[in-house]
Amino acid sequence: MKFDIELVGKVGSMALVNKAWGDIDYNAISRISKELHPGHIWVSSGATEIGRLDYIRRNGCEIEGDYNDVKTDYAAQGQTILMNNYRQYIHPAYSVRQILVEHSHFNDLAKRENLKKLLLRCPAQKAIPIINYNDPMSSEEIDKIELQRLAEKRSDVVHCMDNDETASQIACLVKCKTLLIYTSTLGIYATPNDESTLIAEITGKDVYELIDAVSEAQKRCQGASRVGANGAMAKLEYIKAPLKNGTQVYIANPKYSITEVISGQAPCTKIFVSK
């Protein structure tokens, strides 16, 4: 099977922040960045929390006001810091390109095609795209209205309120070989919150059997499979679409490197069609 992109990966904001220090976890972002190379697409959360920490450090307090306005302001401040750190640690021979997406980039056919072409040009140009949802210019209330209107006309609406879904949609868009979702756990557990019950593999002899196996694993997860849930059940729902394209999926903890996860040296959940 031919794939256009080697890897799409996603990391959450808490993996990039050291709570004890109240600052960016430079070790984490350095470790990730140094492994990225052309043929990789990286979806990164973190702008809002990093912007919040930077504002507090500079002003000694948090921003007061409407929650959505505050989130917007933090995200706008954090984006520059986040991208500066990726640029600092990614190999200097490679270009780094920031791409901010919204649900319309996946639900509008023309925008979807434009985004796809942009991403597929990157490997030949030795460029690494860093993608995040466009929090500084999004409005939760406006997004809800737009998505509701779309849902009245079609059933396949993409929300992308969660970067797990964004990464899965990117994986479908570019047809990648591997999708890596970094999360706070080691992977998917048979018993919630018990890492000793880590499910090392979810597999099936064909894509139909694989999707059934993923659905069975969802029954063991806590939380709701919905946009914004940011839990194991939602992650497993989002990855069904790229799995149908032949993509193999890893759900792992960011304390392990990309190489360690994909080579099988790190504990994780690998989800794939068995050969």
Radius of gyration of the chain (CA): 18
pLDDT digits (tens, 9 = 90+) for 90-106: 999 999 999 999 878 88
Domains for the chain: give ranges and CATH numbers.
Answer: 5-273 (3.40.1160.10)
Region 201-213: mean pLDDT is 97
Specify the pTM.
Answer: 0.90
Region 182-204: mean pLDDT is 93
Q: Name the H helices within the chain.
A: 26-35, 47-59, 67-89, 104-107, 109-121, 140-151, 163-174, 207-218, 232-238, 240-244, 258-263
pLDDT digits (tens, 9 = 90+) for 218-269: 988 865 433 444 488 889 999 999 999 999 999 999 999 999 999 999 999 9
Interatomic CA distance for residues 221 and 232, integer angstroms: 6
| Mean pLDDT score of the chain | 89
Q: What does residue 219 show for φ and ψ, rounded to 5 degrees?
A: -65, -20
Interatomic CA distance for residues 241 and 93, integer angstroms: 34
Residue 18 CB partners (closer than 8 Å, separation 6+): 24, 25
pLDDT digits (tens, 9 = 90+) for 40-83: 999 999 999 999 999 999 999 999 999 889 999 999 999 999 99
Q: Give the distance from CA 169 to its chain's centroid.
A: 9
